[in-house]
Chains A and B, each alone.
Chain A
Amino acid sequence: MERPRSSAANALSFYIHIPYCVKRCGYCDFNTYTPQELNSANLSLITTPYIDAVLREIEIAKKRVGAVDVPTIFFGGGTPSLMPSAEITRVISKIRQEFHLEEGAEITLEANPDTLSASYLDELVAAGVNRISLGMQSAVPHVLAALDRTHNPENVERACQLVNDSGIAHLSVDLIYGVPGESIEDWKISYEQALALPIDHISAYALIVETGTKLAARVKRGELKIPPDDETAEKYLIFDEAAEQRGFAWYELSNWAKPGGACRHNITYWNGSQWWGVGPGAHSYFAGKRWWNVKHPNTYQNALTSGKSPEASNELLSEVNKRDEFVMLQIRMSEGISLNDLTQEELARVSKYRDSGHIEGANWDAGHLVLTRTGRLIADRIVREMLV
């Protein structure tokens, strides 16, 4: 069966994990650590040795994959903007040195709106960064408080201005909805403010209460109440409509962009392209194998210092695995799945969703399965039913 694969076999994107935060937010289950958790007085003492380790892993990548084209780099975290720009520069230079960093490659860095400065942004531009992603989450103070976020909502607008002034072409903000205590009105306030920002990309995520987080504990204790799913669904629908009106088109279930603003890096995850995740806990996918690194920064650095691979474990994807992932990921995207890529049985099982308005009728008739607004909200269910 033919599978659409947009990137060439000799391309490899890089994800660089920066596992540090000043403070851990209550909802976050990412692999990130505060200086206190690492028994360090401040981050400056740990950044340089950490980036040394990152560079060593990039060398391992070179040995493993050889000369490849690098279309995108993404600094995620954690809080990558905590890194001095010199460290970011070292990483990008290293990749440029070991591989072929494509002309016009997309280089994204996630940033905290509170701490961005014009000079820092200038240094990032010099290093090659051309896309910034700001964690905004909400514009409503009590919602931010429920998320245990510290930033001042006004800083987001200031940060956007700074990014624009720096000449960085692409700017995204993240929102979270479905937060305890957030009303429909609260949500409207947040997204209206966000959509009015000088940005070309916006991600909006329904809150996932991850086990083991402070948020989960507070929900369990009854201190916070998760809004009903139906209300969260409603928030998705009104947001999708508002985003569309403001010129943002959805291209993935939780991502919207103005023309040319789609995040090329994230698309590599969804269309089955190859990427290398550098840093503790990072996942990689290359040549049909997926692996992930040891989780703790210290263990990670120790492995690399002693010349060992930081790989913790891996899996070789079977044809069935690959096919499951293809359907599961591709259905989240606006380009959808060609009906030719589905079996007759699969088509028969999901055609009822066309009748119920969960699958776009016109696309279906033209040979493509594309989910409607309401369909995206039950995408996991449709995938389950299709793949039985």
Chain B
Amino acid sequence: MRSGFRGLAGILALLVATTATSLAADPAKVLRIAFPVAETGFDPVRVSDLYSATVIEAIFDPLYTYDFLARPAKIVPNTADGMPEVSDGGRSYLIHLKHGILFSPDPAFGGKPRELSAEDYVYTFKRFADPANRSPWAFLINDRFVGLDEQVEQAKKTGKFDYDAAIPGIVALDRYTLRLTLKRPDYLLPYTLAHSAFGAMAREVVEKYGNDLQAHPVGTGPYLLKEWRRAARIVLEANPGYRKRIWDFQPGDDPWDRQVVAEMKGKTIPQIGRIVISIIEEGQSRWLAFSRKELDLLALPATFRAEALDRSNRLKPALAKDGVKLYRAIDPSVSYAFFNFRDPVVGGFSKEKIALRRAVIMGYDLPEEIRVVDKGQAVQAQMPIPYGVVGFDPAYRSINQYDPVLANELLDYYGYKKGADGYRTLPDGKPLVLQMATGTAAADRERDELWLKSMNAIGIRMVFNQGKFADQLKAAKACHLMMWDAAWTADYPDGDDFLQLLYGPNTGQSNNGCYQSKAYDAMYEQSRLLSIDSVDRQHLYLDMTRQMEVDGAWVLQTSPERNELIRPWVLGYKKHPILNADFVYLDVEAHK
């Protein structure tokens, strides 16, 4: 009886969904934007570049997504009907799906409407684990679900992943219910479920298009791929069968939010009928295209900051007169230079090694980096967790501030004596030479010069080893680089994504400094057992940050600031720290 009722409800929901076409976005509304880097393709399992991910996010629907306005980013249901029911101490997640969600029409469905089901998510998760797909997102799913790793091992032996085999940890209990069972407590799973790559894929589509799947993204999301000229132009069209979804986000403390809410509240999502994306690699071309009103939004290229903004980072009068709006935001990203803890010169936990690293950190002229290298478009990172990410504490201050005098004193105290040439030696009298891995780009050279100048000021000789990124990464993973400048951008809006970079067992994977602190690792493991909103977890994040500072693990540098220029006819703009397809939540007014 119950299942019959549910079936009837499903049919009704389908009817509602198919008649929801009248709610579709206005085809006359067009938003023109640019990507500075070419996309690679639209199979969510296979690609990890930001620009492909932006398109994927507009086409596919993960179970969860983020509140458009809330900061730090807050997870909200997407295709899931409510937040997951978590039980067994964080080991079991029960998720109900909304009814009547349809995939966009595709020949793979034989001309029939195809409703999203829990089985689609089961299939999608399996695709990430399939070794043949060599997914760059496999780390989000491996060693997590009961029974999945065994299937992966089997696939490695047979050369074929058995998609029909049941996996106890990923089960569709019925058409609209998904049960996920984890190997250990994990309160971060919702972040994976909200990740744009984990949007549901239909098995029929994957099997129909095979190797050409990158060109045939078929999802249940607000847009569908209308046109794709590779590395040149992408046109998205509002999905006419998209479920009814109303813009109803609450404003936060940011005064900008009130304007956004006034412009968007109560409107159907999406509002814009066509998104035209041009791949424009050169900053000048993007800037001129925006100035000529060929683009509606522009992430201001750093080289054109002076054209658009004054010294106080306010819009120049000509742009303001044109009605252009400026939105400044700090990216959920941090840059840092790591020390290799296995390196005989800078590694280890002895007092003189810690002193050396902290002197280097204090000797690095970070204010100069922000002023010259970043052209004032970055803020000092006080902790490894950036703004907009859970765990970020605006009141927190690093103990390692720029202080070359103190750095010199510290080195003197621990016996790093200066020789006749003005450069210091190790306490045992051997030469002290820092070796920094670096790239060949102009920005790398600028940064290298700053490093050299900073280290000369504290009497440390520094040399630079240029190499290709892939080679440097290979060496870093093998703990062979003494130092390397790196950056990390949030995959999910939780401090865990950044703090895992320092977790000992992640050496060889993401902990490229090979930092292995028992105290840090213990706190990290403890934090993984606590729920996302736990106060204790926040305290642990601060303690871990302090620990890595005391040990001198990283030369923590900056979080970049972005300047978005917005034409006056674009409504509701706000940059989300994790969501990339902001245009889903925007509107465009008629304009000339």
Partners in one complex: no
Interface set of A (CB-CB < 8 Å, partner B) = none
Interface set of B (CB-CB < 8 Å, partner A) = none
